[in-house]
Amino acid sequence: MKQKILGDFQTPLALAEQVVHILKQRGTHWTRVLEPTCGLGNFIHAVIQQCPDIQEIIGIEIQEVYVQQAVSIPSSAAQPHILHQSIFDIDILRDIAWVSSGHLLIIGNPPWVTNAMQGALEADNLPVKTNLKQLKGIDAITGKANFDIAEFIWIKLLHDLRDTPATIAFLCKTSVARNVLNYAHQCRLPISKADMYMIDAKKWFNAAVDACLFVVDINQAVADYFANMFDNLTDEQPRTKMGFIQNQLIANINDFETFRFMHGQSDFEWRQGVKHDAAKVMELQRVGDTWQNHYGEIVDIENEYIYPLIKSSYVKPHYAAQFEQGVIITQNHPGQDTAHLKTTAPRLWQYLTKHQTIFSARKSSIYRNHAAFSMFGIGDYTFASYKVMVSGFYKTPYFLPVMPIKQRPVVCDDTCYLLPFDDPLLVVLLAAALNHPDTLRFLKSIVFEDSKRPITKTILNQLNLQMILQHIPLNDLNQIAATFVLPNIVIPASKEEILRLFFPHLRQLTLF
Ligand SMILES: C[S@@+](CC[C@H](N)C(=O)[O-])C[C@H]1O[C@@H](n2cnc3c(N)ncnc32)[C@H](O)[C@@H]1O
């Protein structure tokens, strides 16, 4: 329990040594070192081993047992001085009696725990609220429902440093590193030369998260908010750069620049699938001639309210849609009154009423003051016959062309996004263009693969479909379309014809 509250995962000495080695190779020379959450002190150990001319080493640790151990690390260089305190109670320039004043290295592995987890464990290893207020822009972080304690420590240190030249090198989640970069950019904190080295968190900490060594120079050069991205601690050359283009953090600047013409405003609006937060009742499974809900009850309702359902796990190559999964749709658009169902669909009304408690228990405030059995993510697009669908969850997205099943339009749940059309040819063409390796490379350049939901409506709406369709060769469109499990659809023989199908208003087309 205590280990969880304090985010206590001690860094193996071998990893700490590798980190110090990288920092030395990076070229900065430091004369004093701070380990702000030092635990057993393995980073301090590694610094002592590899930097014999270091003048001063300070550690801070909240748990006394670790303080005892860190204090006794033998040193032929400067003797480490360990403070038994919380980093949240210390201003690192004002409250530490530094004897030297040179370049400062702040190194370590701050706790891997979120404020929400702290709340759940009824712990309070958090900064005092009044201190937070003094940090410019901190609301952007603490206003979020869930933020990492490590993220807060990063930002506290960046502010504490004021004008002091320093390097901060922390092991942290990649999401924390990104948030720090975002924060520094937003608040114009003077960081320069940021490097992110991916680490194998499973191997070192048995943790299933994307984590990295994030190294940032501060108060040393003209501010620059790019981060070199290294796949491994051992890589000498970065694979790419992450950074800001028009205030948007871009995952892979190199690929983004190559396919920049694909970036823009989508010509068609991507929509999210249906949201009801009542899957146990609203989602049905075909069993023989009957429909069953998640409780295994046979559901005998008016058929016209059941639509074929696609969920994220079906959105993959070679998926052959069937009407085996269904979802009940109670409205044609959000906010529509549902009272008429009592007479227009009495069996459906009776079924939903029987499960009223499931609907009353829906937590999201969007359902408050709305008609009984309300849904979201519905509109004319829900009932369009032809759709391109994509899941929000996959690192490598796949765009599925979807046709009606048994004359019923197929709908997707809210883990997916869709573009609706009234012509199957458009769906096939667009799915082919979107699944092209060039489009996927561009898409991946603006997506952070380790996010819970890498693909979102905001991301999809940045795809300039016209430029994408212009760019992908006709041959490639044909080849990709041939992989779809669909009745054969003949693709027009010219790019111009294809573009006119999508954009009939275009008179003059510039073709590649
Ligand atoms: C992920 S562990 C890393 C320990 C050490 N830095 C290392 O890399 O081996 C995080 C450490 O932070 C300490 N810690 C947690 N909250 C703290 C706080 N408010 N102030 C100082 N140390 C804290 C924990 O006790 C734990 O030793």
Three-state SS for 332-370 is CCCCCCCCCHHHHCHHHHHHHHHCHHHHHCCCCHHHCCC
In a domain, 286, yes or no: yes
In a domain, 92, yes or no: yes
Indicate the helix (H) or strand (E) that contains 240.
Answer: strand 240-245
Whether 74 and 199 share a structural domain: yes
Is residue 4 within 8 Å of residue 117, measured between CB atoms?
yes
Q: Is residue 11 in contact with ligand 1, taking CB distance under 6 Å? A: yes
d(CA 34, CA 44): 9
Percentage of the chain surpassing pLDDT 90?
79
- In ligand 1, the atom with minimum distance to the C-alpha of 6 is 15
pLDDT at 1 over 80: no
Whether 294 and 228 share a structural domain: no
Contacts of 183 (CB under 8 A, 6+ apart): 137, 140, 141, 155, 158, 189
Adjacent-strand bridge partners of 168: 106, 216
pLDDT at 505: 74
In a domain, 262, yes or no: no
Whether 240 and 281 share a structural domain: no
d(CA 86, CA 75): 24
pLDDT at 124 over 80: no
pLDDT at 486 over 90: no
Q: Is residue 170 in contact with ligand 1, taking CB distance under 6 Å? A: no
Q: Which of 84, 34, 83 is nearest to 57 (CA)?
A: 34
Give the residue whose CA is nearest to atom 4 of ligand 1. 39
Q: Is residue 111 in contact with ligand 1, taking CB distance under 6 Å? A: yes
- In ligand 1, the atom with minimum distance to the C-alpha of 171 is 8
Q: pLDDT band for 410, please (50, 70, 90 cuts).
A: very high
At position 9, the amino acid (one-letter code) is F
Whether 167 and 316 share a structural domain: no
Cα 483 from chain centroid?
30
| Residue owning tokens 């033998």 | 74
DSSP string, 185-246: HHHT--EEEEEEEEE-HHHHH---S-EEEEEEEESSSS----EEEESSTT-SS-SEEEEEET
Percentage of the chain surpassing pLDDT 70?
91
- In ligand 1, the atom with minimum distance to the C-alpha of 87 is 20
As a whole number, mean pLDDT of residues 369-380 equals 94
- Ligand 1: residue of 3, 5, 6 to mutate (most ligand atoms within 8 A of CB) is 6
Is residue 248 within 8 Å of residue 263, measured between CB atoms?
no
Question: Residues 53-73, buried b or exposed e (16+ Cβ, 10 A)?
Answer: ebbbbbbbbbbeebbeebbeb
In a domain, 318, yes or no: yes
Helix 424-434 with 437-445: angle, nearest 10 deg: 60
Q: Is residue 176 in contact with ligand 1, taking CB distance under 6 Å? A: no
**Average pLDDT of the chain, as a whole number:** 91
| Residue owning tokens 């004093």 | 32
Q: Is residue 88 in contact with ligand 1, taking CB distance under 6 Å? A: yes
Residue 187 sits in a domain whose CATH number is 3.40.50.150
d(CA 195, CA 59): 24
Torsion angle, alpha carbons of 391, 394, 400, 404, to 10:
-30
pLDDT at 139: 56
Give the residue whose CA is nearest to atom 13 of ligand 1. 37
As a whole number, mean pLDDT of residues 472-495 equals 93
As a whole number, mean pLDDT of residues 10-39 equals 95
In a domain, 320, yes or no: yes
In a domain, 72, yes or no: yes
Q: Which of 269, 271, 274, 270 is nearest to 412 (CA)?
A: 274
In a domain, 266, yes or no: no
- In ligand 1, the atom with minimum distance to the C-alpha of 42 is 9
Q: Is residue 7 in contact with ligand 1, taking CB distance under 6 Å? A: yes
- Ligand 1: residue of 11, 20, 45, 62 to mutate (most ligand atoms within 8 A of CB) is 62
Whether 155 and 288 share a structural domain: no
Distance 109 CA to ligand 1 centre (A): 7
d(CA 113, CA 146): 10
d(CA 31, CA 477): 60
As a whole number, mean pLDDT of residues 361-382 equals 93
- Pull the structure tokens for residue 181: 């970069």
Give residue-wise pLDDT tens across range 302-320: 999 999 999 999 999 988 8
Whether 158 and 303 share a structural domain: no
DSSP string, 368-389: TTS-TT--BS-SGGGG-SEEEE
Count of structural domains within the chain: 2
At position 288, the amino acid (one-letter code) is G
Give the residue whose CA is nearest to atom 19 of ligand 1. 86
Give the residue whose CA is nearest to atom 27 of ligand 1. 39
d(CA 433, CA 468): 7
Whether 24 and 118 share a structural domain: yes
Contacts of 353 (CB under 8 A, 6+ apart): none
By mean pLDDT, which of 69-83, 281-295, 397-411 is the weakest?
Answer: 69-83
As a whole number, mean pLDDT of residues 439-457 equals 95
Whether 222 and 304 share a structural domain: no
Residue 19 has a CB neighbour count (10 Å cut-off) of 26
Q: Is residue 19 in contact with ligand 1, taking CB distance under 6 Å? A: no
pLDDT at 9: 86
Whether 226 and 293 share a structural domain: no
d(CA 453, CA 448): 9
pLDDT at 147 over 90: no
- Of 191, 219, 250, the domain-final residue: 250
In a domain, 61, yes or no: yes
- Ligand 1: residue of 47, 61, 126 to mutate (most ligand atoms within 8 A of CB) is 61
Q: pLDDT band for 321, please (50, 70, 90 cuts).
A: confident
By mean pLDDT, which of 22-26, 283-287, 453-457, 486-490 is the weakest?
Answer: 486-490
Whether 281 and 429 share a structural domain: yes
Whether 177 and 288 share a structural domain: no
Segments forming the whole domain that contains residue 340: 271-502
Whether 310 and 182 share a structural domain: no
Q: What angle do CA 195, 197, 198 make, to 5 degrees?
A: 145
- Of 189, 219, 250, the domain-final residue: 250
- Pull the structure tokens for residue 233: 């601690």
Task: Give the Å distances, CA to CA, from 338 to 144, 191, 196, 275, 299.
Answer: 35, 56, 53, 16, 19
